Structure 1
């Protein structure tokens, strides 16, 4: 991980510890080992993704990795730097390795967990009636929309190390296995996503594609396996999910009952109005 250096390009965000939120749920119930505060930036746990102009779908492609000679790397680095309009150049080392910047877009659907602020993290008193026990805290929330981060990495830096560096930069304490790095490309007005293997080197892909993000961009997403891997979540997270689902269920039931009550009243009014005499 020593090869990975982040460069702040994204506005910072606060870890809020209030008793309520304006657009989501806040849970402060005690659990066996942790006190979880859960904030959502949306009103629904199952958020509907916005439709894009082009269809986004996964595509399994052949590995693009091929052996490049030192002269090939020198030429590609030279061509890459010639297209750069900023100071985010690539540098070639004597041993044939090279370093440079990649930009990763964070497109996360589910919330992430971060540790609590340092202030007030001292013992909050006995937990579960056990004297001297402290309550751990964490905050879970959605990352801001269109969050991105520049990382300075080596040609030897692997995808899994990039994921770890991103989580560390945002102080995310979730298991890195929950996330995956994707290669996003556009061809024939279609958008394709390819999941990178843990050992693929993102800077190599960036070098081969050039700096144009329309040709290739890197995206951090949840590591989807077809279904949500609930075993990857901690007990407090699962308990908060259940509380959120219960509240949403109650809200939906309330709305349905109101609709049927209103329909019933209108039918009765219509019956009264249709009675002869």
Structure 2
């Protein structure tokens, strides 16, 4: 190969790798069905081009938008968690789950154990962070400074509801805030960890239905109860992003192959904000 061409090819490859590492890439995926019926994940161009609609028609249904962009960063490193919602939120009771959805789940680890940390968008302290835009859409555009004083809930680990989880052992009993958990590292567990019953990960944990592939950061739609049912028109969202001050980990080639297989099977759909 011509030396100059070889050098140019290497440079282009490096640029491509840098782009993949820094781009805001999310996959839409089903977390859980309801009685065998999964939530619907649809393209929606009614409000803006390229939006995604999540139709949660029954309790128990859950779906997500997952990203590995900030894996390897800490909670305190977060610079932006954002998403814009376009469907009419006024059709729901102000402050209720479907009026302030989606919520987010973050997988965290101490290097051995994993847990999910979630916000509470229906908490009055969080509702002021869901801002209204000029066109009537609503946006979460959150930094660590925005969320540091808000309640952080621990899930998907033994002892999460008795103040005895590994997270509570490190940081104390509930109520905890994101500020309390600032040093926790963002990283999803492997499927083998999720499938091990001893680890206390439930069916509503943010991982891909069937394969149990998980993402470090997730916007989540739906819940176990009916408090996040959307109705006929689903949650229509765009401009989702996750960024942190320290670079996230790039998925290994083997994981990229898995994502490609899942996409081909229709279990996940890759979307670039």
TM-score by length of 1: 0.26
The structure with more radius of gyration: 1
The structure carrying a bigger strand percent of its residues is 2
Task: Name which structure has the greater RCO, CA cutoff 8 Å, separation 6+.
Answer: 2
